[in-house]
Amino acid sequence: MFKTFYIKPHERGILFNRSDFKAILSPGTHRYFGWDWSVKTYDLNHPEAQIEQLELLLQTDRDKLEPHLTIVRTEFDRVALLQVKQSWIVVAPNQLRAFWKGFIPVEVRYFNLSESLELPPDLVEKTRGFALSGIKKFQVSESEIGLMYVQHNFVRPLGTGEYAFWSSSKDLQFKTLNRMIPNPVFPDEDVLIDRHPEFIAQYCTVVETLAQQVGIVRDRQQPIAILPPHSRKLFWQGVTVETIDISNDAKLSNPLVAELVSGKDQIKKLANDALHVREVPVQHLGFLYVDRVFQTQLEPGIHAWWTFNRSFTSIAIDMRLQNMEISGQDILTKDKVPVRLNLTAGYRISDPLQAMNNLANINGFLYKELQFALRGAVGERTLDGVLEDKGTIDRDIAEYIRVKTANYGLTVESVGVKDIILPGEIKTILSKVVEAEKSAQANVVRRREETAATRSMLNTAKVMEENPVALRLKELEILERIAEKIDRIQVNGSLDNILTDLINIKK
């Protein structure tokens, strides 16, 4: 009894007798005697041969397998990359895999991971666009530097280009740093400085300051970083460094003030945390305290100091004449009448150092003393006394406040009560009193005028009695007045008769 097997041109067959491997059958017809023969066929369009117990067959029948199969075996530190037509297959470490020969070409390249994890540039280019298991790809642009880490440890820098690395056996990480930024955030700066001097020498500049030094780092003549004392930082090569000794004098020079304090906004923001700045306006005087101890006076202008290792405090005192308003002070007069007063004072700080050393709050001190002076001056007078002579109150307050401020470097140059506000009922009473006084004065004036008029009439009568011509002139004046008030006068007889009749009527 024969069994016949037909193998197609795109197939291969594995011949078994019972369960024992016997041969690999090429395309064609094959006849074998007996019932125990069997064949398992494989489609060569799938290049990988999924053969059971491949390891055992290689030990017993390698000579029968090798003419038909490409055997790929990897170890713990080796991997393989296969190119099958236009595709790629990765064989991870510790694997055994077989691929059919002849029908589809298979190209195998082995890699020793203990020697290098990087794929050659030609393979990087050929595998571009393929996502391959166990391979990490990384690209660095011309404006960047790449950093490669293996097991979280820095291994090497990567220049401009395209890279691929085996990542099946180790943890790979990649970071990029922008070369256009002179002070990027370098990962683990101290580790790079201490353990990778070759990288530092090739790409970086290390800026280091001592305990009493400040470092100013510039790129293209523009400040990009300020380093405090006892610090260390990495920058790309090409920066310039200015080191300043602050052990004796922490004040900035005028050029540095112009650059760091009055310069561009980004530079002022950069120096903000490192400087104590005090601007003293014109007609002001500044005072500087270092570690709470007075150091010096400051003339008008902009002043700046490095704040490292010291505590700075500064103030600016206005030397011009200043005004203070004491508003809404409710005070009882000596006769228990409540009044509300507003006071204004003009003062000047004559000795700023004395004022600062002796007073914690200049305005607060002056305000309270003016309150006390006002209360004392008003409380010792009656309401009439307050209303009659405000000038006396002003003088009393001025004398009191000058004595109080004499030892505090303050000079009060003017003081005066602006307003005296009375309660509503007191206003009404005072209005009635004033009205009565004015009415009485009006009556006196009226009586005086009436007496003077009567006396004048008597004098006129005596003159007319003694002088008939004057009487006749007066008569004519009266007649003229009468004529002004009537339209027509009819005279019968002579004018003398009219005047005589009028005189008789008067008598």
Indicate the range of 269-278, 304-313, 410-419, 426-435 predicted with least confidence.
426-435
Residue 39, H or E segment: strand 37-43
Say yes or no to pLDDT of 440 above 70: no
Take residue 373 and report the two structure tokens written for it. 């002076």
Burial of 228 (0-12, 13-18, 19+ CB in 10 A): middle
Distance CA 286, CA 303 (A): 10
Q: How far apart are CA 340 and CA 200, in angstroms?
A: 79
Q: Which residue has the higher pLDDT, 501 or 99?
A: 99
Quick one: what percent of the chain has pLDDT higher than 70?
88
Strand partners, 277: 304
Confidence (pLDDT) at 82: 93
pLDDT at 380: 83
| pLDDT tens digit sequence for 478-490 | 767 777 767 666 6
Residue pLDDT, tens place only, 8-36 = 999 999 999 988 999 999 999 999 988 88
Q: What is the pLDDT of residues 62-105, one digit of tens each?
A: 999 999 999 999 999 999 999 988 889 999 999 999 999 887 88
Domain boundaries, given as residue ranges, for the chain = 116-180, 205-318, 323-422, 467-507
The rounded distance, in Å, linking the Cα atoms of 137 and 464 is 141
Integer-rounded Cα Rg, in Å, for the chain is 59
Are 68 and 24 contacting, i.e. CB atoms less than 8 angstroms apart? Answer: yes
232-258 burial code (b ≥16 CB/10 A, e <16): ebbbbeebebeebebeeebebeeebbe
| Mean pLDDT of all residues belonging to the chain | 86
pLDDT category, 503, cuts 50, 70, 90?
A: low
Which CATH fold would you assign to the domain 323-422? Tetrahydropterin Synthase; Chain A (3.30.479)
Q: How confident is the model at residue 258 (pLDDT cuts 50, 70, 90)?
A: very high
pTM, 2 dp? 0.66
Distance (Å, rounded) from C-alpha 224 to C-alpha 216? 8
471 pLDDT more than 70: no
Write the pLDDT tens digit of every residue in 107-122. 999 999 999 999 999 9
